[in-house]
């Protein structure tokens, strides 16, 4: 079962949030805004607490989000997974055996069609659909691609979470502390 049935993937935007996640019962979580110089110590800390952390590679300050940076992250940091909007990052993560999550923004029909073309090239392990508050789009992307979906962005209430899950999302990524608390095991 993906993410051991965990319905929320808490996302840490800053150190205080990370501390809360590390003290929680969640096994899987996401690093958002980080600095390249902090990565090794953050992953060591998370590992010491038995946390499997995905890394949003596009938000690592001090590191270009390209294939070379991804090789570095996969070889030196060894995250559980990498999230990115960039196809080269996703392809490199997959080649290195790291869980690859392609983030797509569903702004309009043109963006949706471009996302489908991108997904056909990268074929990620997961797709993170943003905004995650549009259940019909979660369902459509899931059915059209057959790739598991993570829903993220603008999800603010338990009802939003439940609607995303009911539409076919495997889990919801969120930095909303109230949702972490509501769904903790």
The residues with which 54 forms a beta bridge, in sequence order, are 30, 81
Q: Residue 92 to residues 18, 36, 37, 66, 114: CA-CA distances in angstroms?
A: 27, 18, 21, 9, 20
The CATH number of residue 23's host domain is: 3.20.20.70
Quote the domain boundaries for residue 116. Answer: 7-183
Question: What percentage of the chain exceeds 90 in pLDDT?
Answer: 97
Contact 73, 55 (CB under 8 A): yes
61 within some domain: yes
1 within some domain: no
2 within some domain: no
Q: Which residue has the tokens 């029909």?
A: 109
Contact 39, 46 (CB under 8 A): no
Residues across the chain = 185
134 within some domain: yes
What pTM, to 2 d.p., does this model score? Answer: 0.97
pLDDT digits (tens, 9 = 90+) for 78-102: 999 999 999 999 999 999 999 999 9
145 within some domain: yes
- How many domains does the structure of the chain reveal? 1
Q: What is the DSSP letter of 170?
A: E
29 within some domain: yes
164 within some domain: yes
Q: Is residue 8 predicted with pLDDT exceeding 70?
A: yes
The rounded distance, in Å, linking the Cα atoms of 36 and 71 is 14
pLDDT score of 1: 57
Mean predicted confidence (pLDDT) in 28-47? 96
């Amino acid at each position: 079962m993906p993410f051991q049935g965990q319905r929320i993937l808490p996302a840490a935007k800053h150190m205080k949030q990370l501390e809360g996640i590390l003290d929680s019962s969640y096994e899987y979580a996401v690093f958002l805004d980080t600095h390249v110089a902090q990565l090794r110590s953050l992953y060591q800390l998370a590992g010491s607490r038995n946390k499997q952390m995905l890394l949003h590679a596009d938000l690592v300050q001090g590191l270009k989000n390209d294939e070379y940076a991804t090789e570095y992250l996969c070889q030196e940091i060894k995250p559980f997974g990498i999230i990115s909007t960039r196809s080269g990052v996703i392809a490199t993560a997959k080649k290195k055996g790291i869980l690859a999550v392609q983030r797509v923004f569903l702004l309009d029909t043109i963006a949706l069609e471009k996302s489908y073309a991108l997904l056909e090239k990268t074929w990620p392990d997961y797709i993170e659909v943003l905004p995650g508050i549009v259940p019909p789009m979660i369902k459509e992307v899931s059915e059209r691609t057959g790739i598991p979906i993570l829903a993220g962005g603008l999800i603010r209430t338990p009802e939003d979470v439940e609607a995303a899950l009911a539409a076919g999302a495997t889990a919801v990524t969120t930095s909303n502390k109230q949702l972490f608390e509501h769904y903790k095991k």
